[in-house]
Amino acid sequence: MTKYLAEFLGTAILIILGNGAVANVDLKGTKGYGSGWMTIAWGYGCGVMIPALMFGNVSGNHINPAFTLGLAASGLFPWAHVAQYIIAQVLGAMVGQAIIVMVYRPFYLNTNNPNHILGTFSTIDSLDNGSKESRRSATINGFLNEFIGSFVLFFAALGLTKNFFGAEIVPGIEKLLAQGGKAAKVADMDMPTKIQQGITGLTSGNAGSLAVAHIALGFLVLALVAALGGPTGPGLNPARDLGPRMLHAILPKSILGEAKSDSKWWYSWVPVAAPILAGLCAVALFKIIFL
């Protein structure tokens, strides 16, 4: 249950910091109104970094159904936890978004642009101009952007957390332990066991390197939003897009303002399917090359 709660809270924090930054930039009358794209990039970067540092050693801090599915499909995460993780992630995204709406409600009511209102919830490709004719190009461009961005995110995240400096020490320690008839995984050992085995000093440096890796995850997301945010946002995360989009569809104009328009469900499959496909491919490729 603790792991599921960590995924719920981690995803909620991601939305509060990430979509909260979008709301601050795009909703009329806020102190950050019109402050620019880098405010949003920093919001999402910290929205990933902070939960990673808080819950990385609790649940793995997936906070993304596409990553959970990719890991499970490659045998790096048990299928028994997949459904619970995804449910926790989607619910966390919805709760995080509800908090943003509660805080920013007066500014939703002041905003006249329906895309700015939807943009604080979910993504849409910039090629969409509201006409049916633009949907095909928006869908194609959106899928490509979401797939590429998600692939880089998942492949790089695994590289940062699996190939961090000092990671090569762990297999050597496990091999020595096995030769001495004490087969065990270092990752599964508590501190008293490490002390008993005399490997505390050898592994303590890894903890620092892994912490740095989780900080780097935040900068990775910041860079992805800055580099690939132009076309779609980007979403890179089915829970981050689908959960808030459902909330956008449910909430009335009395809360989001008269400018609220449709939730663009015709596009909603793109930020769900593209990251999932990218997650399956990225994790599988990383496993083939490095694991």
Percent helix, percent strand, percent coil in the chain, to nearest 5? 75, 0, 25
- What domains lie within the chain, and their CATH numbers? 1-290 (1.20.1080.10)
**Distance from C-alpha of 222 to C-alpha of 250, rounded to nearest angstrom:** 30
Q: Which residue has the tokens 């509201």?
A: 130
**Distance from C-alpha of 39 to C-alpha of 226, rounded to nearest angstrom:** 10
**Distance from C-alpha of 72 to C-alpha of 284, rounded to nearest angstrom:** 10
Cα 73 off chain centre by: 18
* pLDDT score of 175: 66
Measuring CA to CA, which residue among 241, 229, 226 is closest to residue 273? 241
Extract the residue ranges of the chain whose pLDDT is less than 70.
164-208
Cβ atoms < 10 Å from Cβ of 144: 15
* pLDDT score of 253: 97
